[in-house]
Amino acid sequence: MTTARMREKIAFFVLGLITLLVVIPILMIIFYIVKNSIGSISWEFITQSPRNGMKEGGIFPAIVGTIVLIIGTMLFSLPLGVLSAVYLVEYARDNFFTRLIKLSVVNLSGIPSIVYGLFGFTLFVLFLKLGTSILAGSLTLAIMSLPVIITATKEALESVPLSFREISLSLGATKWQTVRYCVLPYAIPGILTGTVLSLSRAAGETAPILFTVAAFYLPRLPRSLFDQVMALPYHLYVISTQVPNIPVSISFATCFVLIGLVFLMNLVSIILRSHYRKKKLW
Amino acid sequence: MEFAPKIETVGLNLHYGDFHALQDVNIKIPAQNITAMIGPSGCGKSTLLRCFNRMNDLIEHTRVEGGIIIDEHDILKPEADLISIRRKVGMVFQRPNVFDLSIYNNLRFGLRIHRMLNKRDEVMEAIEHGLEHVGLWQELKDKLKKSALTLTLEQQQRLCIARVLILKPEIILLDEPCSALDPVSTLKIEDLLRVLKHEYTLVIVTHNMQQAARVSDYTGFMYLGKLIEFGNTKQVFTNPMEKLTENYISGRFG
């Protein structure tokens, strides 16, 4: 064997090994969580309210709370994010103003989540008088999710070949018809990926919901958008640090449910993606 | 050369940023004929073609001056309606760029965006007529639901032409429509163009001088953004008036 081929083999081996290293942490995390939560995970745990100072019972209200917050976040951030990305990519001319917007979007993603929490608290809870509520929490999480959705949508739109737009426009379509029929359908998989990524992050954040929506202990389910809710990440924080003598397995079981929820969202996005890949006209 | 022009440019100048891509172009393009634009790469022939349906609007920092008169209307005027211009002036591109949709939906696309023909049988009739026009109906009438990407390149290019025809244009711009096709398919598309010229005004940009000689009635030769010569194809190819044209046609450069 020549040296060049030897080196090629070594390079492949090293690269493969390094890639494997990336997989190890996630497998270990999952293994560790599953191993430690196995005693507490049960049907009861995910369908009942906490009892006896949260030492017994389940985490149902926190699951509902987190799901409600994810949906609320999506309702605000998805249209806002996608539409502004469409504007930036398809309509906006390249000038000082649009460059400023693009720069702000990039910088927005670098802001620590606790800052979003405080911002949401002052703007939505106090100034707009929404109170600590699902509405205030969803809006705060939505602002936090926006940059990722905008960036992902922008990249998805930019990767649609210019020729698709050309054909449509040359047939006399308006810009909006072109975007609607010839660009967005091809960008949907990319948009979905970005959206799920940012919503997964939103689902797991504690800081932004700390002052805006999260309840320490609230066994009943929310009745309106102005109610507080329990949420998984905050609940996890509470039972791990604020309540003494809680079995560790309950914390890990809560982790397990949170991760399971995020995986479920990813699964839905994979299914939707393959659906839209097959079906280009919508 | 006496004819009523379908398209006429008056002192047309186009700048891409600092680049002066079209320099004072004055051309008259006759109705119901095939006009070929020839010239070496980067001479501005595609740019000129893309002026006729204002596709250059898509490119940022483009500045156009002068006039382009189609049927007595200056399409460069700010009040000109882009959508009706592009419906009247269809375009066929270099690569057969069908949508990743069924044959049926490729053809329906234009009808849909212009809100023409809502009834199913009317749509079907238009599609049949369009496909028949480009000689595809017999081959494809049972496969309309199939993806257009399963067709051969020649069929795809014919489909693209049908997609334009369905909107009932008056002018068809063809930007090197055969450069992705093999010689046999090229000849077939050229035959189609000869049929279409009885109803439509065709303008074709081509790299291939022989193609221009074979298919066109009038030929314009462009060089470095200027229209050097325009005339009857036979005259331009056998007895060019300009030295530059002669040098290009005889293969001395280009």
> Domains of chain B (ranges plus CATH)?
5-249 (3.40.50.300)
Three-state DSSP class for B22? strand
Place of tokens 């290009």: B248
Residue pLDDT, tens place only, A134-191: 999 999 999 999 999 999 999 999 999 888 899 999 999 999 999 998 899 889 989 9
Q: Which positions of chain B have pLDDT values less than 70?
A: 1-2
Q: Which residues pair with B64 in a beta bridge?
A: B14
Q: Nearest CA of chain A to the CA of B240: how many Å?
A: 34
Q: Contact A177/B113, CB-based, under 8 Å?
A: yes
Supply the Cα-derived Rg of chain B in whole angstroms.
18
- For B105, the closest chain A residue by CA position comes to A281
Strand pairing class (B5-16; B171-175): unpaired
Instruction: State residue A153's pLDDT score.
Output: 95
Tell me B149's DSSP state.
Answer: G
Instruction: State residue A235's pLDDT score.
Output: 92
Q: Nearest CA of chain A to the CA of B1: how many Å?
A: 31
pLDDT at A193 over 80: yes
Q: Contact B53/A170, CB-based, under 8 Å?
A: yes
Q: Per-residue confidence at A1, pLDDT binned at 50, 70, 90?
A: low
Residue A87 and residue A100: Cα distance in Å, rounded? 14
Q: Is the minimum CB–CB distance between B94 and chain A shorter than 8 Å?
A: no
Residues of B in contact with A173 (CB under 8 A): 83, 113
Place of tokens 């979007």: A105
Q: Per-residue confidence at A261, pLDDT binned at 50, 70, 90?
A: very high
Residue B204 and residue B193: Cα distance in Å, rounded? 10
Is A152:A194 a contact under the CB 8 Å cutoff?
Answer: yes
pLDDT at A282 over 80: no
Nearest to A118 by CA among A100, A143, A101: A143
pLDDT at A109 over 90: no
Residue B116 and residue A198: Cα distance in Å, rounded? 41
Amino acid letter, residue A87:
Y
- For A90, the closest chain B residue by CA position comes to B58
Nearest to B180 by CA among B204, B161, B154, B160: B154
Q: Nearest CA of chain B to the CA of A25: how many Å?
A: 40
Which fold is adopted by the domain A59-278?
Answer: MetI-like fold (1.10.3720)
Q: Nearest CA of chain A to the CA of B237: how many Å?
A: 32
Residues of B in contact with A167 (CB under 8 A): 93, 97, 99
pLDDT at A276 over 90: no
Q: Contact B58/A181, CB-based, under 8 Å?
A: no
Nearest to A159 by CA among A82, A84, A89, A100: A89
Please report the ipTM that was assigned to this predicted complex: 0.88
What residues of chain A have any CB closer than 8 angstroms to a CB in chain B? 93-94, 162-174, 177, 181-182, 186, 280-281
pLDDT at A281 over 60: no
Instruction: State residue B203's pLDDT score.
Output: 96
CB atoms within 10 A of CB B173: 28
Higher pLDDT, A34 or A282: A34
Q: Nearest CA of chain B to the CA of A159: how many Å?
A: 16
Instruction: State residue B1's pLDDT score.
Output: 63
Nearest to B166 by CA among B96, B119, B116: B116
Which B positions 173-212 lie with beta carbon below 8 A of chain A? none
User: HEC states along A91-141?
Assistant: HCCCCHHHHHHHHHHHHHCCCCHHHHHHHHHHHHHHHCCCCCCHHHHHHHH
HSE-CB of B178 using CA atoms within 13 angstroms? 22
In the predicted model, what is the mean pLDDT of residues A5-15? 93
Q: Contact B86/A168, CB-based, under 8 Å?
A: no
Nearest to A185 by CA among B109, B167, B45, B76: B109
Residue A252 and residue B250: Cα distance in Å, rounded? 82
Residue A37 and residue A252: Cα distance in Å, rounded? 5
Residue A80 and residue A87: Cα distance in Å, rounded? 11
Q: Residue A129 to residues A3, A69, A124, A206: CA-CA distances in angstroms?
A: 72, 19, 6, 22
Residues of A in contact with B91 (CB under 8 A): 170
Q: Contact B99/A172, CB-based, under 8 Å?
A: no
For every residue of A155-189, DSSP letters joined together read HHHHTS-HHHHHHHHHTT--HHHHIIIIIHHHHHH
